[in-house]
Amino acid sequence: MTKAKIRFTPLDAVLIVLLLAAGVFLSHRIGVDMNYHWQWPVILQYIVRTDGGSWAAGSLAQGFLTTVKLSLWATALATLLGTITGLMRVSHSLFYRLVAGSYVEMVRNLPPLVLVFIVYFFIGDRIMTLLGVEDFIRSASPSTQAVLTFLFATPARLSGFFAGLATLVLYEAAYITEIVRAGIQSIEQGQWEAAHALGLSRWQQLRYVILPQALQRILPTLAGQLISTIKDSAIVSVISISELTFQGLELMSATYLTFEIWITITALYFILTFTFSMGVRRLEGFIQTK
């Protein structure tokens, strides 16, 4: 399969110039009409700052890293849970189908904001206390706490981080479930019959015949849903998880640099989602060549 060449045409150059001109004009009008004084150099200290002679991440960079951690963990766990429940949706077992269907319908018909509060106040707090997670964190060695901080969040914020992560996983997995179900059911019945004729069990049929074909069909839709996971991570700011949106709200209330902060946050979200999109596109091309 030959790769399509990306061509830069004069029309592309004109569109870029028009977009830059529109940005400059909008910036000028904000400054004139609203008497707003742009202070872009101030934003740099919230991305990178000096701490005792060494460089350290500013509050926006720390929020960006927290968003990356949330997005990566939520993507991996939601994909796993969504795949399992998607397989349950096409199972021959009525019990499995009812369990998976009830989960999907319940979560998809709840606003994510309501789900955040349900998990945080009723599920997360009770389960964390019941399992003794907070006691374990407090009594853990400094090296263990450092690992937890690197992988998740600081010990003082782990409870909220896990609650936000659980919310994202439950919410996104419900949509991934339907994507996986639709992908499996889109495979022609003849493929199932051919696999059955070869003497394969149902699990072997799924593993060796159906799922490889379904993956090619669902990957673009699945990529869109996983990118949506990154954007949906902003909802956990309501339970004071110090991700990118929460840090932006805190900075805006303290500095009143409204436009600079939100333009910077927009750019950081775009970098994260665009990078993920390019990675999925490469993966899609790799799978298609196999």
Q: What is the pLDDT of residues 20-78, one digit of tens each?
A: 898 888 887 877 777 788 888 889 889 988 776 678 888 999 999 999 999 999 999 99
Query: Which residues, 6+ apart, have CB-to-CB distance to 232 below 8 Å?
Result: 112, 168, 171, 172
**Mean of per-residue pLDDT scores for the chain:** 86
Q: What tens-digit pLDDT sequence spans the chain (290 residues)?
A: 445 566 778 887 888 889 889 888 888 787 777 778 888 888 988 998 877 667 888 899 999 999 999 999 999 999 999 999 999 999 989 999 999 999 999 999 999 889 999 888 877 667 777 777 777 777 888 898 888 888 888 888 888 888 899 999 999 999 999 999 999 999 998 998 898 898 888 888 988 889 888 988 888 888 888 889 999 999 999 888 889 999 999 999 888 888 899 999 999 999 999 888 888 778 777 766 66
For the chain, counts of helices (H) and of strands (E): 14, 2
Backbone φ, ψ for residue 54 (5° rounding): -115, 155
Q: Rounded to whole angstroms, how far apart are CA atoms 124 and 127?
A: 5
Query: Which residues, 6+ apart, have CB-to-CB distance to 148 below 8 Å?
Result: 137, 140, 155, 158
Q: What's the pLDDT at 1?
A: 46
Contact 56, 65 (CB under 8 A): no
Q: What are the sequence ranges of the domains in the chain?
A: 68-237
Q: What's the pLDDT at 221?
A: 87
68-237: which CATH architecture? Orthogonal Bundle (1.10)
Neighbour-count burial of 120, counting CB atoms closer than 10 A to its CB (0-12 exposed, 13-18 middle, 19+ buried): buried
Q: What is the pTM of this model?
A: 0.86
Match 């509060």 to its residue by tokens: 117
Both structure tokens of 62: 């720390």
Strand, helix or coil for residue 200: coil
Q: What's the pLDDT at 83?
A: 94
Give which of 257, 284, 213, 246 is closest to 70, Cα–Cα.
246
